[in-house]
Amino acid sequence: MSSTTQHTPALRLQQLSSHIAKKADKPSFFEKVQGAPADVIFALTSSYKADSHAQKVNLGVGAYRTEEGKPWVLPVVRKADHLLVEYDELDHEYLPILGLPSFRKAAVKLILGDNSKAIAEGRIGSAQCISGTGAVYTGAHFLSKHYPIKGAACYISKPTWANHRAIFEGVGMEVLEYPYWDPATKGLDLKGMLGTMQSAPKGSIFLIHPCAHNPTGVDPTNDQWRQIADVMEAKGHFPFFDCAYQGFASGSLDKDAYSIRYFVDRGFEMFIAQSFSKNFGLYSERAGNLTVVARSVEVKNRIESQIAKAQRAVISNPPAYGSRIVSVVLNSAPLYQEWEQNLSTMANRIIGMRKVLYDELVRQGTPGTWNHIVDQIGMFSFTGLTTPQVKVLKEKYHVYLTDNGRISMAGLNSKNVKYFAQAVDFVVRNH
List the beta bridge partners of residue 356.
none
> What is the H or E stretch that residue 214 is in?
none
Q: Is 242 a catalytic residue?
A: yes
Euclidean distance between CA atoms 184 and 30, whole angstroms:
47
Answer whether the bond into residue 215 is a cis peptide, omega within 30°.
yes
Residues 6+ apart with CB under 8 A from 106: 326, 327, 330, 331
Residue 57: phi and psi, rounded to 5, are -135, 130
Per annotation, catalytic residue among 186, 242, 300, 339: 242
Euclidean distance between CA atoms 204 and 174, whole angstroms:
11
Per annotation, catalytic residue among 72, 161, 225, 370: 161
Query: 87, exposed or middle or buried, with CB in 10 Å at 0-12, 13-18, 19+?
Result: exposed
Q: Answer for the pair 238, 204: CB distance below 8 angstroms, yes or no.
A: yes
Residue 400: phi and psi, rounded to 5, are -105, 120
Say how many C-beta atoms besides its own lie within 10 A of residue 57's C-beta.
25
Q: Answer for the pair 272, 288: CB distance below 8 angstroms, yes or no.
A: no
Residue 9: phi and psi, rounded to 5, are -55, -35
Tell me the CA distances in angstroms from 326 to 109, 216, 316, 344, one per residue in order: 13, 28, 21, 17
Q: Answer for the pair 275, 285: CB distance below 8 angstroms, yes or no.
A: no
Per annotation, catalytic residue among 278, 300, 339, 370: 278
Euclidean distance between CA atoms 216 and 379, whole angstroms:
9
For residue 297, what is the DSSP state?
H
Say how many C-beta atoms besides its own lie within 10 A of residue 5's C-beta.
6
Residues 6+ apart with CB under 8 A from 425: 361, 364, 366
Q: Which residues are tagged catalytic? A: 161, 242, 278
